[in-house]
Amino acid sequence: MKIAVIGTGYVGLVSGACFAAWGHEVVCVDKNAQKIDGLAHGVVPIYEPGLDELVERHSAAGRLRFTCNLAEALNEASVVFIAVGTPPRAGHGDADLSFVYMAARELAPLIDDDTVVVVKSTVPVGTGDIVQKIIGSVRKTGTFSVASNPEFLREGVAIRDFLEPDRVVIGVEDERAREILMKLYGTSLDAHKTPIVMTQRRTSELIKYAANAFLATKITFINELADLCEQVGSNVSDLALGMGLDKRIGTSFLNAGPGYGGSCFPKDTMALLRTAQDHGVAVRIVEETVTANEARKRRMALKVMDALESDVEGRTIAILGLTFKPDTDDMRDAPSVPLIETLQRFGATIRAHDPVGMENAGRILSDVEFFEDPYECAHNADAVVVITEWDSIRKLDLARLKKSMRQALLIDLRNAFEQGAAEEIGFRVSAIGRPTTARYEVTNSAALPGSKQVRGRRNAEDASFEMAGDSNDNL
């Protein structure tokens, strides 16, 4: 089957490469000539594990092509996916659909009869109806179909999510679209016995927003319980395990942290709120989730300051991990940004390390010194703050890290390290949802004018379980 994908951003590029991996002929089209030229030469503009290899392999096999010529891409295509960006409108919160509508207007006179146009971008309820009207103003009713097929790709594992999904959601209003999309997905996913939810177009559009809002709420819930754990002397990891083993709840998205971020949760919760408001419906749980999450990101800076006894002016703080989650270079709504900016306003000097996100972070943050080496980043630091639980950060040699620091203070906002491991070598640890059990040690008191040297080990026995579970894989 020949497929055209309009848009070579995250969703469009991953989808196009994966459709090609299923053996389809795919043409990805974009107006950005520089991006298209790079893709034609194997330069993938985003970081996603395995994507560069997938693009290279299927481009070489002739199944995946890139062009700026829309007519060329649409020629003889049975299915056309609209996968353009729908960013939040400044000051409004709802999705900016201008790129979706522009794509619909431009493709309308170019598609063949019986083409199925599929909106894969995340869009509010009713967007497919407007796309139908736009194309219908140029073509006769019944000569084309408009469908909804939302994506559920998690950054960092997007290829696996596409090729082996939990489910596929398809919203259609006519039999032809149903048959074509069942043929496209059903043949490739039969071996995995993947459920395909075939529903109305408007329901399909709403499913994406509802799923993301629910997951965002789940994260916010466990984050608030983590605060309670800290106050009453409980362990949030054990709490989450005890909850998550209930099959009605599940362990996913129950890892406490500094708040959700990324390209989907913040945008989609706000868009769902706006849709509800437009229809006079109150979704108060989602409203509270959005409010609580924004407050939490800033509260994390207060947690860092509390660990430093409210004295951060002139202190050097090393930040390990900048992106909103591991295995991506995405800095959109990353919790690291408000945390760093707040600490800077109180006079802290910030040094930072991230395996792949520093280039993007440098476009957002100012007066931050970036380091490729995490140990160099922590040199003479008064505290190390873990914000993103990259595997390379989890595997750091804590003894070596401590040796390079001015003070042995670790603020673990992801509970990335095994409980007790840092305390055993002399760190004072401030984690999420766990009581602090040790005083910190000044390892280089000469570098800290006016400071008192304090040495100590754990002053309380630590009895806890370790929960093996997924991190919060924000979409």
Catalytic positions: 264
The interaxial angle of helices 51-60 and 10-21, nearest 10 deg, is: 50
Q: Which residue has the tokens 């002397």?
A: 233
The count of other CB atoms within 10 Å of the CB of residue 212 is: 26
Compute the distance between CA of residue 252 and CA of residue 219 in angstroms, rounded to an integer. 9
DSSP label at residue 190: G
Tokens of 403: 């040796």
Tokens of 111: 């598609």
Contact call for residues 183 and 72 (beta carbons, < 8 A): no
DSSP labels, 370-398? E-SSHHHHTTT-SEEEE-S--HHHHT--H
Tokens of 263: 């390209």
How deeply is 276 buried, as exposed, middle or buried, from its count of CB atoms within 10 A (0-12, 13-18, 19+)?
middle
Q: Is the backbone of residue 67 left (phi > 0), alpha (psi -120 to 50) or beta?
A: beta
Instruction: Annotate 92-111 with b (16+ C-beta within 10 A) or e (fewer).
Output: ebbbebebbeebbebbbebb
Compute the distance between CA of residue 285 and CA of residue 275 in angstroms, rounded to an integer. 15
Compute the distance between CA of residue 66 and CA of residue 45 in angstroms, rounded to an integer. 13
Q: Which residue has the tokens 């500094």?
A: 258
Contact call for residues 8 and 35 (beta carbons, < 8 A): yes
Q: How many H-runs (helices) and E-runs (strands) does the chain carry?
A: 18, 14
Strand partners for 147: 118
Tokens of 81: 């996916």
- The Cα-based distances of 226 to 132, 190, 219, 221, 347 in angstroms read 47, 41, 11, 9, 28
The interaxial angle of helices 236-244 and 201-232, nearest 10 deg, is: 140
Phi then psi for residue 237, to 5 deg, are -65, -45
Q: Is 437 helix (H, G, I), strand (E, B) or coil?
A: coil
Tokens of 13: 């590029």
Compute the distance between CA of residue 128 and CA of residue 115 in angstroms, rounded to an integer. 15
Compute the distance between CA of residue 54 and CA of residue 51 in angstroms, rounded to an integer. 5
